[in-house]
């Protein structure tokens, strides 16, 4: 029997408030197969689970679902019991599952949600972008002055005209990880996954750059439906290989020739239609050794190139340069104080005694622990991706602190 791995993070409403000592039960066919508790950072240990062989994710014609699913039930003192069905486990892959609990409500004894299948396995409506474009061609889109990666985007969980569907504000990188984990298989070649992620980022940045929905009077950035956009799965499972690639390239996108806007990079599971990337075809090209850029040019044309977008800064401090052991600067001092502040919510992070601006062993240990908690490469060096995550968590923790004491 093939094995996959699962790490669960439990929060009370927000990532700034991890829940320690929560009881986590893993169920299969309503039978409890594993029980554990969360540590001081709201995390479980790495759990090993049975799954199907990854060969089922290698060929489209297989009729067997290429991953196994489990249900999770979480209980914690003072919080509503939470159940999440359909957590996905692939052969040899670590699945990262966030669980958000809420305070006990007299009207509700249990929160129950289900994760929908991957789009390559499930039955989803086809994209209707050609019809959408022709219907709205009279509306001139608002175009931003430059391509920007925002800290968060607003996802409408339904078709645009469904005003009763909820909107979710999601960190940009979390959105890209969620869509990629919903749209491709994490067992595929790295360059295939990277090509798909670049298409997903580019599609998303096109919606942002052209203000596609806001210019039409909507109060959101993008929808969660495959009819118009990409599949966003509320509380979906994130897969570590996908997460690591997104952290590396989340500011990169593709565009064609001299056009300034990010390419509205459409894709289908398998197609020869011009202007679309074939996901299964990209998998085959990855098997043959094609790079991500070669795959993208194969489907979108030889004029495709990769560019880097600017990030908008709503965080306290901007990234300047990588920080490592032995460095001494004001940026190191800011880093040390930021990690000590975050430690108020994540006590597993070692305290940095007497921050001085010198990157010492204590600082490296704190950085490595932070990277471990948030599924970043544990290098002990603060690169752009680690700084971006530290800034995001710092803002979340400060917002929580201010709401408690305001």
| DSSP secondary structure letter of residue 53 | -
- Taking 3-state DSSP, the helix, strand and coil percentages for the chain, each rounded to the nearest 5, stand at 30, 25, 45
Please name the residue ranges forming H helices in 250-383.
279-287, 292-300, 330-342, 361-373
Residue 27, class by beta-carbon neighbours within 10 Å (0-12 exposed, 13-18 middle, 19+ buried)? middle
Rounded-to-integer distance, Cα 298 and Cα 280, Å: 13
The CATH code of the domain that includes 75 is 2.60.40.1120
Q: What is the pTM of this model?
A: 0.93
Query: Is 236 found in the same domain as 91?
Result: no
Same-domain pairing of 155 and 103:
no
CA distance 113 to 85: 6
Domain hosting residue 89, numbered range = 2-114
The residues facing 149 across adjacent strands are 311
For residues 201 and 244, membership in a common domain is answered with yes
- In DSSP terms, 36 is beta-bridged to 24
Among 253, 277, 311, the domain-final residue is 311
pLDDT per 10-residue tile (average), the chain, 406 residues: 97 94 97 97 97 94 90 96 97 98 80 95 80 46 79 95 96 96 98 98 95 93 96 96 95 92 94 93 98 98 94 66 94 96 96 95 97 94 91 89 60
Domain count, the chain: 3
| 321 in the same domain as 301 | no
Q: What is residue 136's predicted lDDT score, i.e. its pLDDT?
A: 46
Do 292 and 326 have their domain in common?
no
Looking at the structure, tell me whether residues 49 and 103 fall in a common domain: yes
List all residues 6 or more positions away from 315 whose beta carbon is below 8 Å from its beta carbon: 151, 391, 392, 394, 395
Helix axes 190-209, 279-287, angle to 10 degrees: 140
Residues 109 and 143 in one domain: no
Instruction: Give the residue among 336, 327, 322, 290 at the shortest CA–CA distance from 388.
Output: 322
pLDDT, residue 316, reads 53
- Does residue 276 sit in the same domain as residue 364? no
pLDDT of 110? 84
DSSP for 119-150 reads TTTS--PPP-HHHHHHHTTTSPPP--SS-EE-
- What pLDDT, on the 0 to 100 scale, is given for residue 137? 43
151 and 259 co-located in one domain: yes
């Amino acid at each position: 029997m093939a094995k996959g791995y699962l790490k669960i993070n439990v929060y009370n409403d927000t990532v700034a408030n991890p829940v320690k000592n929560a009881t986590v039960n893993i169920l299969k066919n309503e039978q409890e197969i594993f029980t554990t508790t969360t540590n001081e950072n709201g995390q479980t240990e790495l759990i090993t689970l049975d799954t199907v062989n990854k060969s089922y994710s290698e060929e489209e014609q297989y009729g067997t679902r290429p991953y196994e699913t489990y249900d999770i039930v979480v209980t914690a003192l003072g919080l509503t019991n939470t159940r999440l069905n359909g957590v996905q486990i692939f052969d040899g892959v670590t699945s990262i599952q966030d669980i958000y609990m809420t305070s006990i409500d007299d009207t509700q004894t249990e929160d129950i949600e289900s994760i929908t299948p991957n789009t390559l396995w499930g039955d989803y409506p086809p994209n209707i972008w050609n019809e959408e474009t022709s219907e709205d061609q009279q509306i001139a889109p608002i175009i931003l002055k430059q391509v920007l990666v925002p800290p968060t985007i607003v996802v409408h969980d339904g078709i645009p005209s469904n005003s009763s569907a909820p909107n979710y504000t999601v960190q940009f990188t979390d959105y890209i990880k969620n869509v990629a984990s919903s749209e491709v298989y994490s067992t595929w070649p790295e360059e295939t996954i990277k090509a798909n992620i670049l298409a997903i980022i580019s599609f998303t940045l096109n919606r942002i750059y052209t203000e596609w929905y806001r210019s039409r009077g909507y109060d959101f950035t993008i929808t969660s439906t495959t009819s118009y956009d990409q599949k966003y799965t509320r509380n979906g499972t994130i897969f570590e290989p996908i997460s690591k690639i997104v952290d590396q390239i989340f500011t990169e996108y593709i565009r064609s020739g001299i056009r300034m806007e990010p390419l509205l990079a459409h894709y289908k599971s398998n197609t020869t239609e011009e202007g679309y990337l074939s996901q299964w075809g990209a998998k085959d090209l990855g098997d043959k050794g094609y790079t991500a850029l070669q795959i993208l040019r194969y489907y979108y044309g030889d004029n495709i190139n990769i560019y880097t977008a600017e990030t908008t800064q709503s965080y306290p401090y901007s990234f300047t340069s990588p920080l490592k052991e032995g460095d001494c600067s004001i940026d190191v001092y800011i880093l040390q104080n930021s990690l000590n502040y975050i430690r108020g919510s994540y006590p597993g992070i070692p305290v940095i005694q007497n921050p001085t601006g010198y990157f010492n062993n204590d600082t490296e240990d704190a950085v490595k622990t932070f990277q471990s908690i948030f599924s970043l490469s544990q290098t002990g060096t603060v690169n752009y991706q680690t700084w971006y995550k530290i800034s995001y968590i710092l803002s979340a923790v400060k917002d929580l602190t201010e709401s408690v004491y305001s």
